[in-house]
Amino acid sequence: MVLREDHPDDADARCGRLNLLLSCRSRAGLEPSIDQLADLLEPLGIASFRAGSGDEAADVIRRTEIHIAVVDLSIPLTGESPGAKPAGGRILQLLRRLDPAPPTVLVRPRQPAARESARSLSEALRDGAFAVVDRPINLETMLEVMRRVVRRHYADHWPAA
């Protein structure tokens, strides 16, 4: 998969916009709400940088200042090969090393049991996640989470404002 930037001008994205890393599995039709999210946020001054693998996400993190990150825990390390090792944890480690570490929204598979769901939610929040969203991703839920992130971490104004 080729990294697709929704805002191709890196200089503008680094200097005058809030940069959003969207690292989610993106096989055809799997997460249309991620495409919609990027399209809805772009006119508001939020540049979305999509990554379909852990390696692509690491590349975006190295070359772009990230202000908010959406991390799919089941994203493959490299490409869409069957049985690829999930790289969500690796992406989280890279993000935590940034100074300042961006607020992170985790996307996880739906949990089979309430106890497992509560345990993984607790672990994610303890590890510093801002929010945890279950698959399938609901667009309205993600928009509300983004609103809360901007309000809490950027006082309703992102770095460009």
Query: For the domain that residue 108 is a member of, what is the CATH number?
Result: 3.40.50.2300
Domain boundaries, position 41: 4-153
* CB neighbour list of residue 57: distance below 8 Å, 6 or more residues apart: 21, 23, 51, 71, 75, 87, 91, 94
* Contact assessment for residue 23 and residue 57, using Cβ atoms and an 8 Å cutoff: yes
Structurally, the chain folds into a number of domains equal to 1
pLDDT in tens, 61-112: 999 999 999 999 888 988 766 667 788 889 999 999 999 999 999 998 877 7
| Domain-located, residue 159 | no
Percent of the chain clearing pLDDT 90 (strictly above): 43
